[in-house]
Structure 1
Amino acid sequence: MKVTINRDSDAPVYVQIIEQVRRQILSGELLPGFRLPAERKLAENLGVNRTTVLNAYSELKAEGLIGSRVGAGTIVLSYLDEELSGCGSSREPQWNQIFSQYSNRFDSCLVQDLLMLASRNDVISFATGIASPESGPIEALEGIENEVVNNRNFRSLLHTPTEGFISLRKVVCGLMQKRGLYCRPDEIMILSGSQQGIDLAARILIDPGDIVVVEEPTYFPAIQVFRTAGARVIGVPIDDKGMNVDVLEQLLHRYRPKLIYTIPTFQNPSGAEMELERRKRLVRLASKHNVMILEDDAYGDLCYEGNLLPMLKSLDNEGYVIYLSTFSKNIYSGLRLGWMVAHKKIIREFASAKQLIDLHSSSLSQYIVERFIENGSLEAHLNKVCSEYRTRRDIMYKALAKYAPKDLIWNRPKGGYYFWCRLPDGISSLKLLAKAADYKVSFVPGSPFFSSGQGDNFIRLNFTYAPLKDIEEGIKRLCAAMKELEAEKGNDDLYSILEINPIV
């Protein structure tokens, strides 16, 4: 069986696997009874996530082309083989004919895998972008929920306007004023997490074929959202001062993009902070070229040293910036509550689209967050969290300095959640991910953060989620996995098995 992966193709990897295996079966190249490689082995040889191969095999099984037999693994089926499907007329639906073309653009397996890894007690996870469960304000939230139950506050359990409770929007106006932006409640919409704001932006602003400019690297679910909307995604490189605005200006002249997506403060995954002059210039360029900016500010409250720079939205007097933020990163991720600040015309359009998706964000979550802010608990909580996360960051930084191979390069983030590391030459993040699994430690490989498919020499490490006592041990394990890979480098040919020749 021969499978090649084209990293430059717009087709998702699992679709490429499906098409090639299907073609070989239908052409007779793979005969009935042929045993396919196990999911894990094929994933390792292709340098992809195991779930990607699992999805491809599931689709081929749904089409009746392959099946599983005890003791034989996954095999090619005969067209007349009804042993696995029961008696003749009983068959599953033809899934490939049922799902829409839109659904074929989804590629969210990595997020699902990371959340699954985070739930395992035997793995030290530096992978997920989740706040520390240990630092949540459980006592304060418990008191607020008691207010709802004991006082029989039905308001918090009923429908709200799609834009959110007006009282909460007024409270958010106060938060924004502290951040240097004066806005009105009709310029604010409450979201079911800031991720929903990215999805709404893609639905409202993007038509198939439009160009979206993102930082390179950037938050990979945003890349997936834009591509699912049919957009062409182009990356602009970043450095420790943020997006390279010189390159951006050239792209604006050449491609006339519809949207610029940026995380200017404590960027995910790099931790970079866009310098003030670049922020000002970016807003001027958006006005000059009539292009919207989607400013994702999930980590602005999590600053461990220095002073925060002005938000892009606070530099925008004309309405070109759509600002997103969230309570998921600094209170509890399970609240699934964020907000948007934008021109009121934008809010009206986005609210119409949101109403079709979920009507409104959770009423109870809105009430809890509103009371949490009003009684002064949020400010005290942020001071506590920043102190704790600063300690976690420093522990990880020192552990990297103690255990890392000499050629590993990493940053020291001033805020946010992440370390961004460049691996020693010749070490693949995907190979390291597989090796690290043997050491019971996880991280996110770099390639998903790049729109161009590059980045296999980078990894992202989260320092907020793992228990404090496990951070040094996890880094020790990860660095041991790196050193083992270095020792093995050049001693084996990963792609010689099963005649699989991926394009890299």
Structure 2
Amino acid sequence: MEKYEIEFNQDIPKYIEISKYIKKMIDKNNIFDGEKLPSIRKLAKTLMVNEVTIVSAYKKLEAEGYAYQKMGSGTYAKRRDTNIKFKKEYSNTLKKISGKDLKIYVDFTGEITSSEFFPVTVFKDVLNEVLDRDGAEAFAYKESLGYEGLRNSISSFFWDNKVSTEDILILSGAQQGIDIVSKSIINVHDNVVVEKPTYGGALTVFKWRRANIFEVDILEDGIDLSQFEQILKKNRIKCFYAMSYFQNPTGATYSLEKKLKILELAECYDFYIVEDDYLSELIYDQKQYKSFKSLDKNDRVIYIKSFSKIFLPGIRLGYMISPEKYKEHIQNSKINTDISTSSLMQRALDLYINKDLWKQHINYLNMAYKDKYDFMINCIDKYLGKKVSYFTPGGGINFYFKIDENLKINSMDLFYSCKNKKVLITPGVLFYKNAEQGNNYFRLSFSELKKPEIEEGIKVISKILEKIPKR
């Protein structure tokens, strides 16, 4: 109890001084995130104050997001998210670069397919065919789960009719799916496990729900299972959010063995897996992959899939498959959120799939992106060399880099240095609960760039890193 030594000021209520002191200790990492705080009785005795004073201090810490309670266990420290400031800085900087200005930048931040690959002409013909066939009916909001034809096509084309159309819910993209799941199953102070690093949009949603977020390091073949099991043994986990293929930002893909083990743990420890199938279509290494959902025998997976990243971003379409336990909650939450997703776009996508145009589009994307992917690797090895370390994901659109630890620069400084040279990167601080964990990392996405731009951008990054002094 040596760390709890407070000199009280007579003019300030003691419970406020205690809460301020503990907050400062948490911010300085002298009290670790998730560390159990002393019991009310023990801390009251140590500080020689009334137990009610400690209760008030702990309540204030909870209200300010610095602590949470576990029923029957006690009060635990909760480190405040330190990347909010960086997210605002990054977002505001990108907002100022828009329209014509953006064209003079080499933009490695993109997360959608290049406009040169949009099947605009073909999709226009499909839209016209839908309007000729369905008329005004194409705009009707009738089916709360989504257009039945599209749900049938998803079941048949993507799941070989092994998933009932009644279990499929059409969404306005994956982000809405994460939001709906969060509203449906996560309550204040519920425990959620995420990969470290992970998609910033998911972190934002879980923080907004005031969940307790536990991070587990992600390796090339999925999360570190020993870390994961330690968390499961000590905490009652509600769900685990995972990007099973070509994870954003790292590009990691779960091995079959890890998927099976995590499904086993889900049943053993009674939690659910929220599977965000990010980019399973873009596979360059010819390996065969299976989703968590396809391996799920105990109805433990909430599966989310977006079509926006690889098709036409503006149409904002995706779908979700829910376990029986949460199906009604999730469907009601979707209805309460936006009633229905665009009926016209659902019908058009349904026809696009049934005409076998989807398959053609994905085959074309794989050929085009495989070429970019190989070129990207060549440029990285040629120009960045030992300045960074990374692994080749085998698919997707991202590469994630660790800056040589001997270089005196962090990811936000690198972001601004690159921006000044008309190159945009994504700093690693955005993908962690606490910003400092991402100081040595950055992400490059090649999806919206042509080969000359890729080479030019990587050359610029290389020259900037060459000028950085060593520690």
How does the TM-score come out when normalised to structure 2? Answer: 0.78
Question: Tell me, what secondary structure is at the counterpart of 1:153?
Answer: helix
For 2:159, the equivalent position in structure 1 comes to 177
Q: Cα RMSD over matched residues?
A: 2.4
Can you give the 5+ residue segments of structure 1 that lack an aligned partner in the other structure? Answer: 11-46, 54-106, 491-504
For 1:428, the equivalent position in structure 2 comes to 410
Supply the distance in 1 between the matched residues of 2:188 and 2:375 (Cα, whole angstroms): 45
Amino acid across the alignment from 1:137: P
Q: Deviations 1:213-232 (Å, cap 9, x if unpaired)? A: 00111111101100100101
2:258 paired with 1:247? no
Q: 1:115 to 1:135 in 2, by over 3 A?
A: farther
2:139 paired with 1:129? no
Q: Deviations 1:53-87 (Å, cap 9, x if unpaired)? A: 9xxxxxxxxxxxxxxxxxxxxxxxxxxxxxxxxxx
Q: 1:190 to 1:399 in 2, by over 3 A?
A: same
Question: Tell me, what secondary structure is at the counterpart of 1:421?
Answer: strand
Structure 1 residue 109 displacement after superposition: 6.7
Amino acid across the alignment from 1:266: F
For 1:271, the equivalent position in structure 2 comes to 251
2:376 paired with 1:393? no
2:445 paired with 1:462? yes
Supply the distance in 2 between the matched residues of 1:210 and 1:342 (Cα, whole angstroms): 19
Structure 1 residue 152 displacement after superposition: 6.1
Q: Deviations 1:279-322 (Å, cap 9, x if unpaired)? A: 00000100111101100102111111222321111111221100
1:100-179 equivalences in 2 (<5 Å) = 110=90, 114=94, 117=97, 119=99, 120-151=102-133, 153-177=135-159
Check conservation: 1:176, 1:182, Cα contact below 8 A. Answer: no
Structure 1 residue 110 displacement after superposition: 4.4
Structure 1 residue 6 displacement after superposition: 5.3
For 1:339, the equivalent position in structure 2 comes to 319
For 1:439, the equivalent position in structure 2 comes to 421
Q: Deviations 1:255-293 (Å, cap 9, x if unpaired)? A: 111110001211111111111111000001001111011
Supply the distance in 2 between the matched residues of 1:183 and 1:108 (Cα, whole angstroms): 41
Q: 1:279 to 1:289 in 2, by over 3 A?
A: same
Structure 1 residue 159 displacement after superposition: 0.8
- Residue among 360, 377, 388 paired with 1:380: 360
- Residue among 452, 460, 465 paired with 1:477: 460
2:263 paired with 1:283? yes
Amino acid across the alignment from 1:442: L
How does the TM-score come out when normalised to structure 1? Answer: 0.73
1:32-431 equivalences in 2 (<5 Å) = 52=85, 110=90, 114=94, 117=97, 119=99, 120-151=102-133, 153-177=135-159, 182-425=162-405, 426-431=408-413
Supply the distance in 2 between the matched residues of 1:124 and 1:190 (Cα, whole angstroms): 35
Structure 1 residue 469 displacement after superposition: 3.3
Can you give the 5+ residue segments of structure 2 that lack an aligned partner in the other structure? Answer: 1-23, 34-81
Q: Which runs of 4+ in 1 moved over 6 A?
A: 7-10
Q: 1:6 to 1:477 in 2, by over 3 A?
A: farther
Supply the distance in 1 between the matched residues of 2:145 and 2:94 (Cα, whole angstroms): 31
Q: Deviations 1:439-463 (Å, cap 9, x if unpaired)? A: 1011111111112431110101101
Amino acid across the alignment from 1:309: Y
Check conservation: 1:115, 1:128, Cα contact below 8 A. Answer: no
Question: Tell me, what secondary structure is at the counterpart of 2:386?
Answer: coil
Q: Deviations 1:382-410 (Å, cap 9, x if unpaired)? A: 00001111111111111111211523112
Supply the distance in 2 between the matched residues of 1:362 and 1:469 (Cα, whole angstroms): 38
Supply the distance in 2 between the matched residues of 1:185 and 1:345 (Cα, whole angstroms): 17
Structure 1 residue 111 displacement after superposition: 5.3
For 1:87, the equivalent position in structure 2 comes to none
Residue range with higher mean Cα deviation, 229-238 or 462-471:
462-471
Check conservation: 2:244, 2:278, Cα contact below 8 A. Answer: no
Check conservation: 1:319, 1:343, Cα contact below 8 A. Answer: yes
Check conservation: 1:300, 1:308, Cα contact below 8 A. Answer: no
Amino acid across the alignment from 1:246: S
Q: Percent identity?
A: 30
Supply the distance in 1 between the matched residues of 2:136 and 2:288 (Cα, whole angstroms): 39
Check conservation: 2:272, 2:300, Cα contact below 8 A. Answer: yes
Question: Tell me, what secondary structure is at the counterpart of 1:141?
Answer: helix
Higher helix share: 2
What number of residue pairs does the alignment pair up? 392
Structure 1 residue 432 displacement after superposition: 0.4
Amino acid across the alignment from 2:127: E
